[in-house]
């Protein structure tokens, strides 16, 4: 039987905080909403280690194929072709993205790293491979080593140490936030439990930026099978609500994009349409995740 716990949260990673009771959050320039794009630059292994854990929703229902050429080639399309369509869409709208890049991609795609660097985009550590999630199956030494390798690979490839972490498929163990904080990172983007960033109870402190899985393209279009032509309306509807609420206290709105999905020729039109709709809102602060975290650490307000 589980031990008794008093009313409140079921863990100590952050305290409960009701949104109406918080001090007002103010973004730079009086913006109502901080808006960020997270572009996923990933390497998918043909034959991952037997102990590796990947999102089970990507497993073939008829068996675990090794080597998995079918999934590999779909993902590789994004890095060979699709990402350039996404580059064009973000460039056309003047968007500075945060690139969630894993160690495998850092080692294999220097051309793409340079394309992102010359645009002045931010890089966040994103694990080692798209086929290796952090879960409770990892021991603490193994998890520390994975985090360290991820950070070191980004620094070696880009020339700058990453400021934050975007977990593979939102995967974590109960100790992950503390290990990320001890590694010197400033933010984590794995907790889509709020409309405002907030501080976690790590030592040293780390900011949680709630990148919503609801608007992640893979979650929406691949797993839930939402028709792609609905994407611009769904994005605009979510932003319209946050924009209205942001008049009283600032909100955060983030889009997660995967080149292997939105870089397809039959989908890219709808990404451009969604970005056009977003551009129609005034009072947006288009920022990187690092800039959002930096503002929260400076202001010391918002969230839990």
Q: Is residue 8 part of a domain?
A: no
Q: Give percent of the chain above pLDDT 90.
A: 71
Q: Which residues 6+ apart lie within 8 Å of 221 measured at CB?
A: 228, 231, 261, 267
Q: How far apart are CA 222 and CA 264, in angstroms?
A: 13
pLDDT tens sequence for the chain (304 residues): 455 666 667 888 998 899 999 999 999 999 999 999 999 999 987 766 566 556 555 565 555 666 778 888 899 999 999 999 999 999 999 999 999 999 999 999 999 999 999 999 999 999 988 788 787 888 899 999 999 999 999 999 999 999 999 998 888 888 999 999 999 999 999 999 999 999 999 999 999 999 888 889 988 997 788 999 999 999 999 999 999 999 999 999 999 999 999 999 999 999 999 999 999 999 999 999 999 999 998 876 544 4
Domain total for the chain? 1
CATH of residue 176's domain is: 3.20.20.370
Using DSSP, state whether 98 is helix, strand or coil. Answer: strand
Which residue bears the tokens 């360290």?
Answer: 148
Q: Is residue 12 part of a domain?
A: no
Using DSSP, state whether 282 is helix, strand or coil. Answer: coil
Looking at residue 44, its pLDDT comes to: 82
Q: Is residue 247 part of a domain?
A: yes
Which residue bears the tokens 């934050």?
Answer: 164
Q: Is residue 15 part of a domain?
A: no
Q: Is residue 5 part of a domain?
A: no
Q: Is residue 184 part of a domain?
A: yes
Nearest CA-CA partner of 168 in 126, 221, 212, 124: 126
Q: Is residue 177 part of a domain?
A: yes
Look up the pTM and report it. Answer: 0.91
Range of the domain at 212: 35-299
Q: Is residue 153 part of a domain?
A: yes
284 beta partners = 33
């Amino acid at each position: 039987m589980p031990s008794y716990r008093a009313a409140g949260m079921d863990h100590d990673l952050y305290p409960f905080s009701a949104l109406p009771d918080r001090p007002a959050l103010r973004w730079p320039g009086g913006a109502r909403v901080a808006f960020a794009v997270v572009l996923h630059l990933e390497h998918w292994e043909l034959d991952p280690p037997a102990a590796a854990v990947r999102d089970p929703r990507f497993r073939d229902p008829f068996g675990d194929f090794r080597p998995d050429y079918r999934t590999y080639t779909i993902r590789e399309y994004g890095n060979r072709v699709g990402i350039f369509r996404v580059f064009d869409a973000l460039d056309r709208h003047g968007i500075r993205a945060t690139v969630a890049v894993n160690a495998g991609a850092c080692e294999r795609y220097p051309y793409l790293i340079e394309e992102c660097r010359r645009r002045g985009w931010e890089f966040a550590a994103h694990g080692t491979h798209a086929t290796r999630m952090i879960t409770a199956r990892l021991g603490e030494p193994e998890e520390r080593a994975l985090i360290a390798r991820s950070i070191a690979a980004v620094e070696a490839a880009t020339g700058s140490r990453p400021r934050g972490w975007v977990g593979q498929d939102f995967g974590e163990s109960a100790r992950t936030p503390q290990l990320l904080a001890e590694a010197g990172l400033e933010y984590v983007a794995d907790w889509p439990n709020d409309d405002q960033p907030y501080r976690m109870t790590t030592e040293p402190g780390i900011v949680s930026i709630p990148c919503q899985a609801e608007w992640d393209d893979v979650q929406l279009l691949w797993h839930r099978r939402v028709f792609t032509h609905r994407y611009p309306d769904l994005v605009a509807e979510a932003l319209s609500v946050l924009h209205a609420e942001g008049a009283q206290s600032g909100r955060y709105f983030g889009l997660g994009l995967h080149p292997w999905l939105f870089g397809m020729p039959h989908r890219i039109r709808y990404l451009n349409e969604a970005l056009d709709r977003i551009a129609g809102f005034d009072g947006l602060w288009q920022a990187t995740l690092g800039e959002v975290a930096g503002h929260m650490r400076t202001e010391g307000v918002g969230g839990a």
